Amino acid sequence: MEKLKRKLEKAEGEGDEERASRLRIKLLEKEGKVTATTEEEKDAVPDVPVEPTATDDAIANRIAKARRRLERAVRDGADTETIELCKSKLLRLGASAASADASAAPDEQEMEQTLQQEHGGDDDNEEGKKKKKKKRKVEEEEEDEKEKDKPAVVSTVTVSSSPPPPPSSAAAAAESGEKDDIDRSNMVLAKNGKWYPKPSAPVGNVSLLLFYAYVQPSWTHRERNDAINFTHDVLSRNGCGGRLRVAYEGFNGTLSGPADGIRAFCQALREYDLKNFGEVDFKVVDGLADNKAFRGLKVWAVEELVTYGLRKGAIEEEAPLGKGGIHVKPSEWTERSSRADTVMIDVRNANETAIGRFKPPTGGALLLDPRMRRSTEFPQWLDEHADEIRGKHVMMYCTAGIRCERASALLASKGLAQDIVQLDGGIHRYLDAYPDDGGIWAGKNYTFDKRFSHGAKNQADVVGCCSSCKKPWERYQAQAKCSLCRMETLLCRDCERGGKAKTNKNNLLCWLCAEIESQPATSAASGAARAKAKSFAKTGGGRDGEGEGSKFAEFDDLEKDDRPGNREIKPAWMRG
C-alpha cells in the first residue's frame, strides 16, 4: 500500500495525470472505496463508497470499471448524454454496494447491453456509430446556421469568413507540370517532373574590383614601395580585402569590399597619379553575396605583373608595351572573328580554356590554344608555332586584358603577324556586352576570385567534362588534381561523392595529360610533353603570378611575410 502511494505521489509530481489516474484506481480498489480523483472530475464523478461485506470484491470491480468508463468520457469531452448515462450506471452500482447485496447490483453484461441500446455503446457497435455520427452532423449544421450571422473575427492574423482564393493558373500549372501557355523562361524543371521558379541570385553587400594599370616610365624601387604603402593604407581604411601585386611596371589586383569602399579606392588611385591611372578600366561587380568577399588583404612586391619569364631588367626591351596589340571593343571583336586568314589566340592556361572559349563562326578565324599550364610557356609556344601565325591577322584575348598586354607586345616584337588586336577588357567586358546569349562565347569564364567562374545568363553550353566519367561538367569544386602534372582538373559531383569505389582521385588526369597518355610512350612528342608535365608537378600545381590577380588561397590570409616592401593585414574581425 505504501509503495503504491509513493508511486502516486511521484506521478502527480511529474504531472503524469494519466498514470496518476490509474494508480488512484488501484489504490482505491485496495482501500475498498471509489472516489473522484481530480478537481475537474469531482463535479462529474460522484463519490461511491463500498461497504465491507462478503461481496465487496465483485462489486468493487464493477464500480471500478464503471468509474473508468466515466472518467474516460469526461477526459475525451464526450457529449452530456453519454456522461449522464455513465454516471447513472455508476450510481446504480454504488446503490447496490450500499445495500451489501450483490444480487441487487445489476449484471455487468446486462448493463453493457442497456448502455449500447440507449446510447450506441462502445465504438465496436456499428449501430451506435451511425447514431453518434448522425447526431454530430445535426449539431454541426445547427452551429453553422448560428455562425452565419456572426462577423468574421480579426486578430493579429486576419481571419476572413470567405475561403482563400484558389492558386493562380500559373502556380497550379507549375505545381502539376501540365502543358499550358505559361511562359517558363524563368522556371526550371526539377527531377520530380514539376516546374519551379528559378532561384534568385544571392544579393549581398560585397563589391568586386578587377583592374590592372601599367605606368610609364617604370617606377624606381622607392616609388614602388611608396605605392605599396599608399594602396595598403587606403584599402585597409575602406574595409577592402584581396590581392594586389605591385611591380615596377604597375598594379595587378583582385579586390573586394563594400561598394563605397571599392569606389573610394578607385578615386584615391586616380588622384594619386592622374596621368597613369586617370583612364584605368576599373571593372566593378556589385551585389555579390557576403561569402564572395576575401578574408584578408595582401599587397606585395613582384618582378612582373604577369610572369612570362622574360629576362630580368630587359622586359621592356623584349616586349615593349607601346608596340602591343590594338584594343578593340566586343562588337568589333565579334565582326573580326568571321574574317578568313585570321587566327585567334587564347592567352590563358589550360585549366581555364577547359571550361570556356570563343567559338568563331565556320569559315572565320582559326582558334589557337597554346595549351599552357602557366604563362612562362608562352614565349616558347610562339617560337614553335610561328608558321601558323606568320602573315595572318591576329586576335588575342584573356580573362580581363592584362595578359594580352605583354603577350601581344612579345608577338609584335617578332614581326610575324600582319596586324594584332586584343579584346579590350577581356572576356569580362565581352560578357558585359553580351550578358544574355554570350555572343560567340561558349561556356564559363574562369575567374581569379571567389566567384570562380561566370558566364552568360541564358547560355546552356557546357564546354568542360569530368575527368573521370567524361560527362559535361564545368565546376572546379572538388579540389581534384591531375595525378601526373598536379594541375587542377574537373570532377563532377557524382564522381566526387561516389568514393573510391567509383573514382580514385590518385588516377585522375587533366585533359592535357590524358592526351599524353593516349600517345605512344616511345614518341618524342610524348616524352617532351611528359617531361613538361613533371616539371610543372614539382611546383605542386601552383601558378603564382598567373592571370588577373592570381587565385586567392587560404594561406594568403596568414601574416607570414615580413620582407621589406610587402604589406599584409587581416581584417579587424580576424585579428580580434
Q: What is the CATH number of the domain that holds 246?
A: 3.30.70.100
Model confidence over 411-423: pLDDT tens digits? 999 999 999 999 9
CATH assignment of the domain containing 320: 3.40.250.10
Query: Could you tell me if 554 and 570 lie in one domain?
Result: yes
Q: Contacts by 70-78 with C-beta closer than 8 Å and gap 24+?
A: 70/44, 70/45, 71/21, 71/37, 71/41, 71/45, 74/40, 74/41, 74/44, 74/45
pLDDT of 13 strictly over 60: yes
State the catalytic residues: 398
Band (pLDDT 50/70/90 cuts) for residue 452 is confident
pLDDT at 367: 96
Last residue of a domain, one of 86, 121, 156: 121
Residue entry with cell 592526351: 515
What does the pLDDT read at residue 466? 93
- Regarding whether 322 and 281 lie in a shared domain, the answer is no
Asked if residue 184 belongs to a domain, the reply is no
Say yes or no to pLDDT of 381 above 90.
yes
> How long a stretch of residues is the chain?
576
The residue among 415, 432, 404, 430 whose CA lies nearest residue 344 is 404
399 plus 267 within the same structural domain: no
Strands 206-214 and 250-257: antiparallel
* pLDDT of 147 strictly over 60: no
346 and 292 together in one domain: no
Spatial separation of the C-alpha atoms in residues 135 and 130, rounded to whole Å? 9
Rg of the chain, C-alpha, whole Å: 42
Separation of alpha carbons 116 and 108, rounded Å? 12
Cβ neighbours of residue 150 under 8 Å, at least 6 residues apart? none
407 versus 497: which is more confidently predicted?
407
User: Is the residue at 444 inside a domain?
Assistant: yes
In a domain, 194, yes or no: no
Does 148 have pLDDT greater than 80?
A: no
Q: pLDDT tens digits for 50-78?
A: 444 434 566 777 787 888 888 777 777 67
Contact in structure between 364 and 340 (CB atoms under 8 Å): yes
DSSP string, 452-480: -EE--TT------B-TTT--B-----S--
Asked whether residue 561 is domain-assigned, the answer is yes
266 and 353 belong to one structural domain: no
Residue 88 lies in a domain: yes
Query: H-helix or E-strand containing 396?
Result: strand 393-397
* Phi/psi at 304 (5° precision): -130, 145
**What domain range includes position 97?**
32-121
For residue 546, give the nearest of 319, 369, 306 by alpha carbon. 306
Checking if the pLDDT of 368 tops 80, the result is yes
Most confident of 109-113, 127-131, 339-343, 551-555: 339-343
Tens-place pLDDT, residues 283-312:
999 999 888 899 899 999 998 898 887 766
* 122 or 499, which is more confident: 499
Same domain, 345 and 435: yes
Name the residue among 273, 291, 271, 132 with its Cα closest to residue 205: 291
In this structure, are strands 297-301 and 567-569 parallel, antiparallel, or unpaired? antiparallel
Residue 190 lies in a domain: no
Question: ∠327-434-551 over CA atoms, to 5°?
Answer: 70
Q: What whole-number distance in Å separates Cα of residue 404 and Cα of residue 402?
A: 5
Is the bond leading into 217 cis (omega within 30 degrees of zero)?
yes
Q: Which one of 463, 493, 516 terminates a domain? A: 463
Same domain for 458 and 331: yes
The reply to whether 459 and 336 lie within a common domain is yes
Signed CA dihedral, 560, 562, 566, 569: sign only = positive
- Does a structural domain hold residue 9? no
Distance CA 498, CA 372 (A): 31
Whether 320 and 456 share a structural domain: yes
Question: 453 and 478, same structural domain?
Answer: no
Residue 138 corresponds to which cell in the numbers above? Answer: 445535426
Per DSSP, the three-state class of 161 is coil
Question: What pLDDT was estimated at residue 393?
Answer: 96
Q: Is 375 left (phi over 0), alpha (psi -120 to 50) or beta?
A: alpha
User: And the C-alpha cell for 112?
Assistant: 453493457
pLDDT classification of 145: cutoffs 50, 70, 90: low
Apex 250 CA angle, 246 and 256, nearest 5: 60
Residues 6+ apart with CB under 8 A from 14: none
Give the chain's domain count.
4
pLDDT digit string, tens, across residues 230-260: 999 999 999 999 999 999 999 999 999 999 9
Rounded to 10 degrees, the C-alpha dihedral 234/240/243/247 comes to: -10
pLDDT for position 345: 97
Biggest alpha carbon distance in the chain?
129
Same domain? For 499 and 536 the reply is yes
Q: Which band of pLDDT confidence, cut at 50, 70 and 90, is reported for residue 364?
A: very high
More confident: 159 or 217: 217
For residue 286, being part of any structural domain is answered with yes
Q: Which of 74, 100, 121 is the last residue of a domain?
A: 121
> Quick count: other Cβ atoms within 10 Å of Cβ 124?
8
> Can you point out the beta strands (E) in 147-205?
187-189, 195-197
In Å, how far are 260, 417, 433, 434, 461 from 334, measured between CA atoms? 34, 20, 11, 11, 18
Query: pLDDT per residue over 166-184, tens digit each?
Result: 444 444 444 444 445 566 6
Helix (H) or strand (E) holding 346: strand 342-346
Band (pLDDT 50/70/90 cuts) for residue 12 is confident
Q: Do 246 and 214 sit in the same domain of this protein?
A: yes
Average pLDDT over residues 552-571: 38
Residue pLDDT, tens place only, 17-57: 767 767 777 776 676 554 444 444 445 445 544 444 434 56
CA distances (Å), origin 46, targets 65, 268, 543: 14, 91, 90
